[in-house]
Chain A
Amino acid sequence: MKLEKIESKIAVLPIDNIDTDQIIPARYLKSISKDGLGEGLFRDWRLNADGTPKPDFVLNKPEAKGVQILVTGDNFGCGSSREHAPWALVQSGIRAVISTSFADIFKGNALKNQLLPVVVPADAHAELLKSPWATVKIDLVAQKVTLPSGRVVEFPIDAFAKTCLVEGVDELGYMLQQEPAIAAFEAKRVGSVNTLR
């Protein structure tokens, strides 16, 4: 799967520090597969105890149908390392999250699942927060976001992660190709400290 351009309405969730327990509560982590996790996405913000939708939650609004971009507050994805968080987002149709910052582990997990973590400057972020349901374009190759006003801002992304997303490089395959280097490194360390025996 390759990821180059995303054009979508934005759903705005103006909350800082959204943790992975909110993105998908721990009770959904008992699965031994990746299937069906969308059901747990923002479960306790999205649904009442009886399973009925909370009408005020952004992803329950009629406008949210088909939304692929979520705009959130600072430090999105903090907390646990659960990769179930990006799995649940992707299974619910979200392909990019725009924020001013992301927690490290979440960012890494997102990039391995074709979910784009897009960091924009504070002024661009402020414009997005004020423009719910406006259309935004993300061009991964050019690393540019076109804001609702037409203004274009750049965003940073790790060069290797970008290559993997754009060219569909299989990261594990790339690592396995380095087997000779790994074997040589291990051979050098036989009997040294930091090797359990």
Chain B
Amino acid sequence: MKARTIVEKIWDSHVVAEKPGAPALLYIDLHLTHEVTSPQAFSTLRERGLKVRRPDLTIATMDHSTPTTSRDLPMLDTVGKAQLDQMEKNCKDFGIRLYDLKTTKQGIVHVIGPEQGLTQPGMTIVCGDSHTATHGAFGALAFGIGTSQVGHVFATQCLLQTPSQSYAIRVEGALKPGVSAKDIILAVIAKIGIGGGTGTVFEYQGSTIRSLSMEERMTICNMSIEGGARAGLVAPDDTTYQYISGREFAPKGADWDAAVAHWKQLPTDPGAQYAKELTLDAATLEPMVTFGTNPGMGIPINGAIPDPASVSDPIEKSDLIKALKYMDLEPGKQLKGHKIDVVFVGSCTNSRISDLRAAASVMKGRKVNPSVRMLVVPGSMQVKKQAEAEGLDKIFRDAGADFREAGCSMCLAMNGDQLEPGEYSVSTSNRNFEGRQGKGGRTFLASPLTAAASAVTGVVTDVRTLL
């Protein structure tokens, strides 16, 4: 039998039908949905008199437009409120389980899936959200879809798909202190560029990846889309099984044993072919920070901002000039030491309990610099509860940071949490596009450690000077 990659194995076991001249009909095991990309898909169902075929495999949450201020306060954003109300009505009308703002399990869709044990190895998982690749950390084939496709999955539990090629990304060796999962993925994207993975699925491999926790693997898989890949995954191992075991939707008893036996068959066979390969030496990695207006514009913390004069391609050169103008930065200088206004710790990339612990380890006994506003937004209400149980909320509040309710928040600034024009942030989120965190705002992407260190000093900081 032909040696197959994990992606090929998952693909093969989910093909419902293949007809000549058309893409394969691929079965979807888990459909996650939120308030922003679903309303028009529900409208399609109503217009055509269709039902949600498998409400039992569909899970909804509210995360993008949700306020992160107290849940006891009335919501002032009437347009956002209307969107949340519509989500509630849609889920009620179509029989879908919804984690709304009143539940203790609400949170960012890519945080709650794994947290509830919904995300499992070997599954096909989709969501109308490009960061769905996060679930790939469990060895699932998980990818973002548009609203038309959300409607297709609602109605048929399937998608028309063509297979993607696999791109092996190997990271080998031990990370240096102060270097984290976020730095690995920012380094990968800086190396291959934000279109480098287009048409492929990343399979992250190597001893460094194996040594990472599930939450760290989620951070890496989450940003696969920033490298152009629709999906990214890590083959499951004991770390994966230990994480899933005992969670609400995890298989139990004999089902658990059967599931693990099945999951152990998933890893890529020896000799399977990859379309592309990249290897990184973990020991060479430094804390990373982005300087520009796409996530590929990243440099090591002690590196220099690139000079457009050294770029030959005319469009690349003008894009770099445009980015530096928007960011108001000078080529050749270090970003380290640049003054900042805001620090955001949150988003589906870095809002889990280990991220909050990392940030708190730097903040403990220190204060947020008076020139900085710091926002810590847990990825879910469960993460918030755990942080409070560990006293992390107190560390953040004592330092002068704002500790909020769960949601996407300032990652994409739909809910009122945003930068003012011209402000600089160090953000643990995933995108530094122009205006992403608020019109005219300027984003430096970094790890929770780097973000916390920068909050303390008020400038972009090498966390290793504070460890």
Contact = CB atoms under 8 A, between A and B. Distances in A.
A27 B27 contact: no
B148 A83 contact: yes
A157 B6 CA distance: 28
Interface residues of A, number: 54
B439 interface: yes
B231 to A, nearest CB: 10
Contact of A34 (B40, B77, B230): B40
Interface in A156-195: 158-160, 163, 171-172, 174-176, 178-179, 181-182, 185-186, 193-195
B25 A181 contact: yes
B228 A185 contact: no
Given A81-B145, A196-B249, A73 B315 contact: yes
Given A103-B195, A112-B146, A27 B262 contact: no
Contacts of B118: 196
A194 B436 CA distance: 36
A81 B128 contact: yes
A158 B24 CA distance: 13
B304 interface: no
B315 A33 contact: no
B251 A193 contact: yes
Contacts, number: 198
A108 B146 contact: yes
Nearest to B145: A81
Interface string A93-115: 00000000101110011001100
B315 to A, nearest CB: 5
Nearest to B54: A186
Contacts of B152: 171-172, 175
A25 interface: yes
A113 B414 contact: no
Contacts of A135: none
A16 B315 contact: yes
A40 to B, nearest CB: 12
Interface in A1-24: 14-17, 19, 21-22
B199 interface: yes
Nearest to B10: A194
Interface in A55-91: 73-75, 78-83
A142 interface: no
A16 B319 contact: yes
B21 A105 contact: no
Interface stretch (B104-112, B155-163, B455-463): B155-163
A153 interface: no
B15 to A, nearest CB: 9
Nearest to A106: B146
Given A17-B195, A73-B319, A181 B56 contact: no
B230 A15 contact: no
Interface string B231-266: 000000000000000000101000100110011000
Contacts of B79: 30-31
Of B53, B195, B251, most buried by chain A (CB within 10 Å of CB) is B195
Nearest to A21: B433
Contact of A15 (B39, B319, B435): B319
Of B48, B157, B198, most buried by chain A (CB within 10 Å of CB) is B198
Nearest to A179: B156
B122 A15 contact: no
A193 B259 CA distance: 6
Interface string B74-95: 0001011011001000000000
Nearest to A161: B23
A78 B228 contact: yes
A181 B413 contact: no
Contact of A160 (B23, B80, B195, B263): B23
Interface of B: 16-17, 21-23, 25, 27, 29-30, 36-37, 39-40, 43-44, 48, 50, 53, 56-57, 64-65, 77, 79-80, 82-83, 86, 118, 120, 122-123, 128-130, 144-149, 151-152, 155-158, 160, 162, 194-195, 198-199, 225, 228, 230, 249, 251, 255, 258-259, 262-263, 294, 296, 315-316, 318-319, 322, 412-414, 421, 431, 433-436, 439-440
24 contacts: A15-B318, A16-B315, A17-B195, A19-B294, A21-B412, A22-B433, A25-B435, A29-B36, A30-B36, A32-B82, A33-B40, A49-B439, A75-B194, A78-B195, A79-B225, A80-B130, A80-B144, A80-B412, A109-B147, A171-B160, A175-B152, A175-B155, A186-B157, A194-B123
Given A32-B86, A101-B195, A186-B27, 15 more contacts: A16-B316, A19-B431, A22-B433, A31-B83, A81-B37, A82-B37, A83-B37, A83-B128, A104-B198, A104-B230, A109-B146, A160-B23, A178-B17, A193-B251, A193-B262
Q: Which 8 A-B pairs have the closest CB atoms?
A: A75-B195, A109-B146, A32-B39, A83-B146, A81-B144, A83-B147, A112-B148, A181-B17
Interface of A: 14-17, 19, 21-22, 25-27, 29-34, 44, 49, 73-75, 78-83, 101, 103-105, 108-109, 112-113, 158-160, 163, 171-172, 174-176, 178-179, 181-182, 185-186, 193-196
